[in-house]
Amino acid sequence: AQSVAQPEDQVNVAEGNPLTVKCTYSVSGNPYLFWYVQYPNRGLQFLLKYITGDNLVKGSYGFEAEFNKSQTSFHLKKPSALVSDSALYFCAVRDGSGGGADGLTFGKGTHLIIQP
């Protein structure tokens, strides 16, 4: 079975400061990892993904994430936070070896609050 842990319910960051939203995963095969953002009463928007290759992945809106196989982590980062980044962020995983569900397994989400 595959699972995702987002240990922080909420992360507070001052505008202009760097931000990190943590994610760890568990999967039996090759991890396909994703970050999504959700604004209130809206669907999820894709930010970035790691499938293979460079461990540092760059995505939309200036976000990036680093795949760390030994720590089974895929933390989301941004060098300088904007107030408009305030939203709910989901980390998700799928077993790329075909041993798990075809749909994504999501973490419980982290509320990111950027303070002006």
Partner 1 sequence: GAVVSQHPSRVICKSGTSVKIECRSLDFQATTMFWYRQFPKQSLMLMATSNEGSKATYEQGVEKDKFLINHASLTLSTLTVTSAHPEDSSFYICSARPGTMTGELFFGEGSRLTVL
| Structure tokens belonging to residue 69 | 């196989």
Write the CB contacts of 60 (distance below 8 Å, at least 6 apart in sequence).
Answer: 45, 46, 47, 48
- Consecutive H or E run containing 76: strand 73-78
Size of the site for partner 1 (CB under 8 A): 22
Select from 16-24, 46-54, 64-72, 73-81 the region that touches partner 1 (CB under 8 A).
46-54
102 Rama sector, left if φ>0, alpha if ψ -120 to 50, beta otherwise: alpha
Write the CB contacts of 116 (distance below 8 Å, at least 6 apart in sequence).
Answer: 15, 83
Residue 25 binds partner 1, judged by CB under 8 A: no
- Residue from 38, 55, 19 nearest 47 by CA: 38
Residue 43 binds partner 1, judged by CB under 8 A: yes
Residue 109 binds partner 1, judged by CB under 8 A: yes
Shortest distance in whole angstroms from residue 17 CB to partner 1: 25
* Residue nearer to partner 1 on the CB measure, 15 or 64: 64
Contact pattern from residue 52 through residue 71 relative to partner 1, giving x for each residue in contact according to CB under 8 A and a dash for the rest: --------------------
Residues near partner 1 (CB under 8 A) are 32, 34, 36, 41-46, 49, 51, 90, 96, 101-109
